[in-house]
Structure 1
Amino acid sequence: MMINLHGNVKAIKDFVNLSSKYNDIEVRSGRYIVDPKSLFGILSLDLDMPFGFFYPVEVEEEIKRDFSKWAV
């Protein structure tokens, strides 16, 4: 799933907080892989560009529902 937070501070905070309820998820942007539960990790990315959001298939439906507002 591709996510775009558009550099919005509230969206970044909400994304990180929501990510904390999941295990084994990661964000990939270019050559960087970061933990989406880490505010510093997310802030290290170019947040004006979409990034890849990867998760276990077991939680796919829940992830799609929870993160749909940022999906592109």
Structure 2
Amino acid sequence: MVKVSVKIGGVKDVDAFNKICSRFSCDVDLQAGKYYVDAKSIMGIFSLDLEKPLTLVVNTEDEADVKEKFKAYLAE
């Protein structure tokens, strides 16, 4: 499992971020505090406070691939 901190900007960013998540065959979740949502669900993403960094949880062992695909959104 790979966990990275991400920052999603506006509506266009949410759509692009969601499309990247949908390409994964494994589970992809976003965590905001105690709340988890399916990152493949655009409505789930919009239910979170996008003003703060979120934790992206991808159920894969390929950390380099995750960081490469989400490099535009990494908050680190």
Same fold (TM over 0.5): yes
* 2:54 maps to 1:46: no
Identity value in percent: 31
Higher strand fraction (1 or 2): 2
SS of the equivalent of 2:40 reads: coil
Counterpart residue number, 1:37: 40
Once the 2 structures are TM-superposed, how far is the Cα of residue 58 of structure 1 from its aligned partner?
2.1
* CA distance, structure 1, for counterparts of residue 62 and residue 28 of structure 2: 10
* CA distance, structure 2, for counterparts of residue 19 and residue 60 of structure 1: 14
* CA distance, structure 2, for counterparts of residue 59 and residue 25 of structure 1: 13
Structure 1 consecutive aligned stretches of length 4 or more whose deviation exceeds 3 Å: none
Corresponding letter in the other structure for 1:59: D
Counterpart residue number, 1:63: 66
Once the 2 structures are TM-superposed, how far is the Cα of residue 31 of structure 1 from its aligned partner?
1.5
- TM-score for both structures, normalised by structure 2: 0.86
RMSD: 1.1
- TM-score for both structures, normalised by structure 1: 0.90
The count of corresponding residues between Structure 1 and Structure 2 is 71
> Which shows bigger deviation, 21-30 or 34-43?
21-30
SS of the equivalent of 2:31 reads: strand
Higher helix fraction (1 or 2): 1
Corresponding letter in the other structure for 1:5: I
Counterpart residue number, 1:5: 8
* Gaps in structure 1 of 5+ consecutive residues: none
SS of the equivalent of 2:61 reads: helix
